[in-house]
Amino acid sequence: MDQLEMKKIAARAALKYVKPDTIVGVGSGSTVNCFIEALGEMREEIKGAVAASKKSEELLKAQGIEVFSANDVSSLDIYVDGADEITPHKAMIKGGGAALTREKIVASLAKTFICIVDSSKQVDVLGSTFPLPVEVIPMARSQVARKLVSLGGSPEYREGVTTDNGNVILDVHNFKILNPVEMEKELNNVAGVVTNGIFALNPANIVIIGTPDGAKVIE
């Protein structure tokens, strides 16, 4: 079974957590695209969605799902998103699609964070297979990069990428994150950092892993 099929399995399994007459928080990325496609089957049952990226917003509208701003809601029942890496403790690295800040904003509104992944995203230590994205105010790019080097990382400017917020991304390689909660806090306190791609302060509540044997749910 290929990776796309496993993503679809995880995405469809998340539909059972969608309650009628609610607004659904929706992240971004290839696995979430599968979820949006599946969610289109429930367009008449839900009120709509809050999207964490402009791309997801476009896909939701194409499915006939009304899109609300995060400012329009006080809370969300669920938020469904993917991850670039996830640990057994449900801490994640996200931001491969450069939507990490908006993903954190929408996730913070949700009572339940549901992470949908294929089995290749599972790691024991964050930073093992994927660089850590850090969203940075453009004028602080070099300053933040020097700080990341001092912390043991190898930051690389993501050429040609501007976030939906008008900022830039530094991808930090060779960064084994042994204490995700403390590292998330430390990086967010660096002047010029908008946020970083560690999701440990607000980890997933439920993880759905697409496997060749079906969906594995960890609650």
Distances (CA, A) of 164 to 55, 56, 100, 101, 161: 10, 12, 10, 9, 10
Strand order in the sheet with 92-93: 85-86, 92-93, 198-199
Binding residues for substrate: 28-31, 81-84, 94-97, 121
Within 10 angstroms of residue 218's Cβ, the number of other Cβ atoms is 13
Q: Strand 132-136 relative to strand 193-196: parallel, antiparallel, unpaired?
A: antiparallel
- Separation CA 114–CA 106 (nearest Å): 12
Active site residue 103: yes
Binding residues: 28-31, 81-84, 94-97, 121
* Active-site entry in 44, 58, 66, 103: 103
Most distant CA pair in the chain: distance in Å?
52
User: Is 186 exposed, middle or buried (CB count within 10 Å of its CB: 0-12, 13-18, 19+)?
Assistant: middle
Catalytic center residues: 103
